[in-house]
């Protein structure tokens, strides 16, 4: 099962490592990552070296890089 990691984007633009977790597919990983978002901050979801997508500060998900 793929391992995903969420990275929170700080106010300085730097990524802060979040929790890693496994999920059977991207859609389930996106749903789980959405539960870990920090209010008012954007985030990126990665599976290994592949950018799955980005969450905006408004919690909207955009797939891919």
- pLDDT tens, residue by residue, 28-39: 999 999 999 999
Q: Contact 7/44 with Cβ under 8 angstroms?
A: yes
Its pTM stands at 0.92
How many structural domains comprise the chain? 1
48: its two tokens: 């290994």
What is the average per-residue pLDDT within 13-32? Answer: 94
Q: Contact 13/41 with Cβ under 8 angstroms?
A: no
Check pLDDT > 90 for residue 24: yes
Give residue 35's domain range: 3-63
pLDDT at 18: 85
pLDDT at 48: 93
pLDDT at 65: 64
């Amino acid at each position: 099962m793929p391992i995903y990691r969420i990275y929170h984007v700080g106010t300085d633009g730097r990524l802060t490592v979040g929790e890693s977790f496994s999920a059977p597919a991207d859609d389930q990983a996106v749903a789980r990552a959405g539960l870990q978002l920090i209010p008012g901050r954007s985030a990126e979801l990665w599976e290994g070296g592949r950018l799955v997508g980005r969450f905006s500060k408004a919690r909207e998900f955009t797939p891919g890089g």
